[in-house]
Chains A and B, each alone.
Chain A
């Protein structure tokens, strides 16, 4: 089966400083791929290269190719707006936009002129998939800023799901959350992988071991190794991977 993402020699520079060097990686569909590695290893840069968010920063420069379903997303004629709808993203810090819960969820679909009669349905489905519906169904029109941090992060997930994307990128989505909220997000992700390709950056190696099918270990801007999660966590082929997952550094 063809990979969803085929990353070929991807390097990312900011002001000529390399943050990611010559990464080759194939990402299969309908799996959870976890990206692990210490801070500053290029995990987030890698993730943001997949929906071209890096270019919002001044001085960014990308080399190599990132094929999504066989098409290079860095081709000059590739439609970035369309890309970001296909490849949704959830950030490390939950950012609810200062509007109602309903308006937050429907923000993306509205941008492309989604028909009104489908909106209510889409909001409900997305919130259900993010395990948030029961907590907010009675107050969809109230401000999203009144939700707790854990709820806001699930709202962010719902907002991404409402795009009906093919891939979901998550950048340490549980870093500021309590164990119960974390469990809810993980449960959501495990169910969502049936229909989406999920790439999860996490600082929590236990989380990676718990929910991911495949894992990739990054160190200082390089991909050290990637493979089935079970193998990475039991018999890593690189000494550095072993040291990281057993907690000897990072």
Chain B
């Protein structure tokens, strides 16, 4: 029996629409739940004072600092490396067995569970290089963790830049590097920013790597070689050890708001840059 197109159209609309609605509902529910539980705890005092009694009372200032410093360090290290690699792979090499192997390797790296990166960071940076549990060890390990994501998203973005732009640039006497800097990178920027933002989000929310490599010190870090505790780790310890459910949700709410703010800021900045160009 043939179903009339009018019905399949209506059916598709309803099914696709409900899928979208369901996704949004789940997202709204999670954020709503965390905020509902956490917002009552939030106050300037909570954000800007040190924790007391293992976090049972007091605030989360050191964790806030840790949650900003670690991803910042990771992204600062991983972005030039990752974007550089993807530019080299897509602009300076021809597609060959070697580049395919590198790409395959990157994909595999992207799929490795973060706890393995954590273990690697612990053995290599913390123990072998004797950096100890520190922001430096944590930042380096997180950088390695987000590197594959940044490489792959940047590479996709760079490949999406029309070949004709490059041809025009070369035909006007540009060197390869001038073409990369003036035509390829500016046009791939939105995609690259997306990759970097994914990296930021992944390192802000990461727990396993941070516990293994940056430790879980409650003190405010004063140097890159100090141990620190991020909000994600703080939440995990507070909840897991049953120290304080209230403060755990307060931390979670802060984390969610921080991630949303960082994303909004990044997209706002990017749109300002793009609006100037078109």
Contact = CB atoms under 8 A, between A and B. Distances in A.
Interface of A: 51, 53, 56, 58, 81-82, 84-85, 88-89, 91, 93, 95, 97-99, 107-108, 111-112, 143, 145, 156, 159-160, 163
B278 interface: yes
A53 B168 CA distance: 10
B165 A112 contact: no
Contacts of A99: 277
B176 to A, nearest CB: 10
Nearest to A52: B170
B165 A81 contact: no
Contact of B170 (A56, A97, A98): A56
A46 to B, nearest CB: 16
Interface in B149-193: 162, 164-175, 178, 182-183, 186-187
B272 to A, nearest CB: 15
Interface of B: 94-95, 162, 164-175, 178, 182-183, 186-187, 277-278
Given A58-B94, A143-B277, A107 B169 contact: yes
A58 to B, nearest CB: 5
Contacts of B186: 98
Contacts of A143: 277-278
A91 B167 contact: yes
3 A-B pairs with least C-beta separation: A108-B172, A85-B173, A89-B171
B171 A53 contact: yes
A98 B278 contact: yes
Contacts of A81: 173-175
Contacts of B168: 91, 95, 97, 156, 159
A84 B277 contact: no
B153 to A, nearest CB: 20
Contacts of B170: 53, 56, 84
Contact of A84 (B95, B165, B172): B172
Given A58-B94, A111-B178, A159 B167 contact: no
Contacts of A93: 164
A55 to B, nearest CB: 10
Contacts of B169: 97, 107
Contacts of B95: 58
Contact of A98 (B166, B173, B175, B277): B277
Contacts of A163: 172-173
Contacts of A98: 165, 186-187, 277-278
A160 B172 contact: yes
A52 to B, nearest CB: 9
Contacts of B162: 95
A249 B1 CA distance: 51
A121 B188 CA distance: 32
B81 to A, nearest CB: 27
A165 to B, nearest CB: 9
Nearest to A92: B164
Contacts of A51: 171
A40 B86 CA distance: 35
A74 B182 CA distance: 27
Nearest to A159: B172
A91 B162 CA distance: 14
A91 to B, nearest CB: 7
A12 B88 CA distance: 28
A145 B278 contact: yes
Contacts of A89: 171
Contacts of B183: 97
A53 B167 contact: yes
A80 B210 CA distance: 51
A145 B182 CA distance: 17
Given A58-B94, A97-B165, A112 B171 contact: no
Nearest to B278: A143
B183 to A, nearest CB: 6
A111 B171 contact: no
A137 to B, nearest CB: 21
Contacts of B165: 95, 97-98
